[in-house]
Amino acid sequence: MVKIIPFTAVRPTKDKVGLVVSRSYEDYPVDELNTTLSYNPFSFLHIINPGYKFHHDISGERRFSLVKNRYLEFIEEDIFLKDKNPAFYIYKIKTRKGSFCGIFAGASIDDYRKNNIKKHEATLQTREKLFKEYLKTVGFNAEPVLLTYPDNNRIDEIIKSITVQNPEYEFATTDKAIHYLWKVDDGNIVSEIQQVFKELDCVYIADGHHRSASSNLLAEELQQKNPKHTGEEPYNYFMSYLIPESNLKIYEFNRMVKDLNGLSKEEFLIHLDEYFRIENRGADLYKPSKIHHFGMYLEGEFYSLYLRKNYPFTNSLSELDTQILFVTILKPILGIEDLRNDSRIEYGYGKYNTIKMKDSIDNGKFKVGFSLYPVKVSQMKQIADDGLKMPPKTTYIEPKLKSGLTIYEF
């Protein structure tokens, strides 16, 4: 049983929505960030980067307070307006590669605790606590957690019946995507959507493990401070975007390492031979075409690495290519034990990442690079079902949602 609720969103006005919404703050190169802040006074980036107003970098709790101030200013200036009634929001993105369509809703913290909302990624306590303090200070969440659910004909039919109507928003962004938003506040439709999700055993976090974990920490704190706690307060939910599994896109992260841990090229290849069949493909660019096949670029040449058929699998995590790479190469041969914090390893993603990886190695920034086959949704679900956690940077998942489109206050 999965509980979702409609919520009363704070949203940009129709005439400014395309100017307000932004990508995740970390996604902006410095030059683009400064240009946007300089020439677009309506950008949501002004809220989450409040120090720009004072030409000063501000961090910690002081920054959190200023974020709240900038947010209140956007409301005072009627850039943001709050809806009058709780609603679900159908959101569709059309890109050059395809389209995504799902539902903005409030997801239950209680479901998160009961594992009705399943996780596949480990989180860092320091990040959880930091973001919890951020949420507590600003009082809103502008970036939804991406949840995925099994394809469902009833939900598809409801969404189809709504998306043939005129949307609340229709706007373009500079990445050439077209965005549409429909507000769903009809009581019968809201109840029908809720009933469908009540019939599901679980949903899965696709992206946003730290955001959901931080929301859980905040709910625990506010519950303890509230003697009249009922379980229905806004802090008992977090904003989510629910999308069917078939509409989820998962891409791989490549791994690039700065040295061979003191080994020569020949010694390194001999070590690899224990677990892999190795083929030198020369200058021919090689990318894996199925699981348990790996690509490698070393000293100007591409290699294919095929996992030997007698490799011992013990559980769903052991079958994951990122885990195989870690336990057979990165840790025992290259000496990388901390995938999150070791400065010798970096990660890359994107359509042309194999070429970018090659260029970085040819330029001497890295010594060796590995390309992998993308994780399947079924693998991600199985690992979550088994209560296991993927290595960091295992999946790059789309859609990547805009900040500031719908805001959830608590």
Show me where the domains of the chain are located.
Answer: 4-250+398-409, 253-373
Whole-number Å distance between alpha carbons of 106 and 109: 9
Q: Name the H helices within 104-179.
A: 109-114, 125-138, 153-163
State the average pLDDT over residues 43-51. Answer: 93
* pLDDT one-digit tens code per residue, 140-189: 999 999 999 999 999 999 999 999 999 999 999 988 999 999 999 999 99
CA distances from 7 to 10, 183, 199, 232, 241 (A): 10, 11, 21, 12, 12
pLDDT at 130 over 90: yes
Predicted pLDDT at 351 = 64
Q: What are phi and psi of 231, to 5 degrees?
A: 95, -5
Predicted pLDDT at 352 = 64
Whole-number Å distance between alpha carbons of 341 and 333: 18
Predicted pLDDT at 27 = 85
Q: Helices 125-138 and 60-76, interaxial angle, to 10°?
A: 40
pLDDT at 60 over 80: no
Sign of CA dihedral 125, 131, 133, 139: negative
Predicted pLDDT at 24 = 86
Residue 299 is classified by DSSP as T
Whole-number Å distance between alpha carbons of 3 and 111: 7
State the average pLDDT over residues 71-97. Answer: 96
Residue 329 is classified by DSSP as I
Predicted pLDDT at 114 = 97
State the average pLDDT over residues 119-135. Answer: 93
Predicted pLDDT at 83 = 97
Predicted pLDDT at 96 = 86
At 257, is the secondary structure helix, strand, or coil?
strand
Q: How many residues does the chain have?
A: 410
Mean pLDDT of the chain: 95
pLDDT at 129 over 80: yes
Residue 200 CB neighbour total at 10 angstroms? 14
Share of the chain above pLDDT 90, in %: 90
Query: For residue 358, which of 289, 303, 292 has the smallest C-alpha distance?
Result: 303
Predicted pLDDT at 57 = 76
